[in-house]
Structure 1
Amino acid sequence: MRSLANFILFQLGWFVAVLYPGQLAALAGVAIVAGHLMFISAFPQREFRFILMATVLGSVLDVVHQNLGTLSFPGHEGAYASGMIPAWLVMLWAVFATAVNHCLYWMRHNRLVLFGMPPFAGALAYAAAERVGTIEIGYGLWGIVAIGVGWGLIYPVLVRISQWLESIEEAPLHEQRW
């Protein structure tokens, strides 16, 4: 039931961010993460640490894409034009981080899925956001490939960080679940 609730909140967060980028999406992301930590997570302190780490790494990845011209934000000027990503995208990374240890937990047990699915799923999510005008992907197909490569690298790293946090848990569980 927790995984289903997490999946619904994750999808809600993604749709709000993509359809209403801005302050509303950032606030929705904060609310989703807070609700997740209060009502879904069995280990909220550990998961909060993971969400912070994943959000920083994901945001760095998007800043790199933005600075390389692979990712841009139409209609945004100022800080977004000089290498920063919007707050709603940072919060979307936090919302995504909640899914890694819940509705996407199953992926860590199959190496083919762990390494094969994120490049396609990540690139597809960004392409969908581009289709509705939330973001722009530079360099055409090569930009999508670059985003996929980024996701192919970052997702296994996030899973490894999650496993490391599980391993330092004071009271190990028979089957470690978040």
Structure 2
Amino acid sequence: MPDRLTIVNFLLFQIGWFVCVLSGAAELNSPAVIFTVALLIFHFRFYRWKQTDYKLVLAAILIGVVLDSSWSAWNLMAYQAQTIEPIAPWWIWCLWINFALTLNHSLSWLLRRRVMAGIFSAVASPVSYYAGSHLGALDWLQPEILIVVLAISWGLAIPLLLTLANYWRNQESGKQHAVV
């Protein structure tokens, strides 16, 4: 049975998803940024794996912002609250940060199930972006292509982030050779 902090991590991600997406729909980045800063403060105060989570946040921002900005640049989707074309808006950055904070905690059961994570991500990511579009945070400009691009991108990105999480977690716990 998961401990309380794992459940809190899961719930905070769900709340964060809605805060970020609804911020985007309202063409406001500030609620997403404020929530995410508060989440980071809370997270790094109470959760284990601080070094690993810090690195995962940076890796997720890099991967996520490159992916989401590319989709915008390729005219596959258009974001609300986008301040600098084609760079993904701040609320997307916040979503990636919030997501990164789940990898060692509420999603840690996927650390050694990366193929399953890739398949799950390939299916779930288009659904998540579709939900975001229906809440008004983004528009799908080329849906048929976007679904495929989302599935492939997330199907590869999430196993990569989990591999990094596993490696950094083993490093942080003091193991010399991480099992990757």
Q: How would you bin the TM-score normalised by the shorter chain?
A: 0.7 to 0.9
Q: Unaligned regions of 5+ residues in structure 2, if any?
A: none
| Corresponding position of 1:106 | 109
Q: Distance in 2 between matches of 1:143 and 1:125?
A: 12
> Contact 1:17–1:89 at 8 Å: present in 2 too?
yes
> Contact 1:100–1:159 at 8 Å: present in 2 too?
yes
Q: Which deviates the most, 124-133 or 140-149?
A: 140-149
Q: Distance in 2 between matches of 1:148 and 1:170?
A: 33
Residue 149 of structure 1 pairs with residue 149 of structure 2: no
Q: CA RMSD in A?
A: 1.8
Q: Distance in 2 between matches of 1:111 and 1:36?
A: 24
Q: Distance in 2 between matches of 1:158 and 1:92?
A: 15
> Contact 2:76–2:146 at 8 Å: present in 1 too?
yes
The TM-score, its normalising length taken from structure 1, stands at 0.87
> Contact 2:21–2:91 at 8 Å: present in 1 too?
no
Q: 1:7 to 1:77 in 2, by over 3 A?
A: closer
**Identical amino acids, percent of aligned pairs:** 27
Deviations 1:94-146 (A, max 9, x none): 00000111111112333542221001111111110001110112212321221
| Corresponding position of 1:64 | 70
| Corresponding position of 1:121 | 124
The TM-score, its normalising length taken from structure 2, stands at 0.86
Residue 165 of structure 1 pairs with residue 175 of structure 2: no
Is the partner of 2:174 in helix, strand or coil? coil
Deviations 1:39-61 (A, max 9, x none): 2x212233112211122111111
Q: Distance in 2 between matches of 1:51 and 1:77?
A: 21
AA matched with 2:37? V
Q: CA deviation at 1:15?
A: 0.6
| Corresponding position of 2:51 | 45
| Corresponding position of 1:23 | 30
Q: 1:49 to 1:136 in 2, by over 3 A?
A: same
